């Protein structure tokens, strides 16, 4: 019984700590638009509907400094705080837009 209670507690805490793509995207919306349908700062591609793998690749690339054009320094600053789970969550959210 004690093991079951601990397992349930772990699942509950894990779900509270799970990344929420919609919440994470709120920081992106200022430049990309609330539905990701805007050219960020007039320079980026429209990311609305990008598939998950493409978005993850771009965000990881920004984080490493290997992806992007003139604005990649700005994006690197935005993604540095994102964990792999955060990147996955926001990529899935963007795909669903």
- 71: domain range? 20-96
Domain count, the chain: 1
Per-residue DSSP letter, 67: S
Angle value at C-alpha 55, between 65 and 18, nearest 5 degrees: 100
Q: Alpha-carbon torsion 90, 94, 96, 97, what sign?
A: positive
Confidence of residue 6 (pLDDT cuts 50, 70, 90): very low
Helix (H, G, I), strand (E, B) or coil at 8: helix
Give the mean pLDDT of the chain: 86
**Residue 10, in any domain of the structure:** no
- What does the pLDDT look like over 40-81, one tens digit per residue? 988 899 999 999 999 999 999 999 999 998 889 999 999 999
**What token pair was written down for 9?**
């507690």
**Residue 31, in any domain of the structure:** yes
């Amino acid at each position: 019984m004690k093991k079951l209670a601990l397992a349930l507690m772990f699942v509950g805490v894990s779900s509270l700590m799970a990344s929420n793509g919609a919440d994470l995207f709120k920081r992106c919306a200022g430049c990309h638009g609330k539905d990701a349908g805007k050219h960020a700062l007039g320079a980026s591609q429209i990311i609305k509907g990008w598939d998950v793998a493409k978005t993850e690749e771009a965000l990881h690339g920004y984080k490493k400094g290997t992806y992007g054009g003139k604005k990649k320094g700005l994006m690197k600053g935005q993604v540095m705080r994102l964990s792999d789970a955060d990147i996955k969550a926001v990529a899935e959210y963007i795909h669903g837009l």
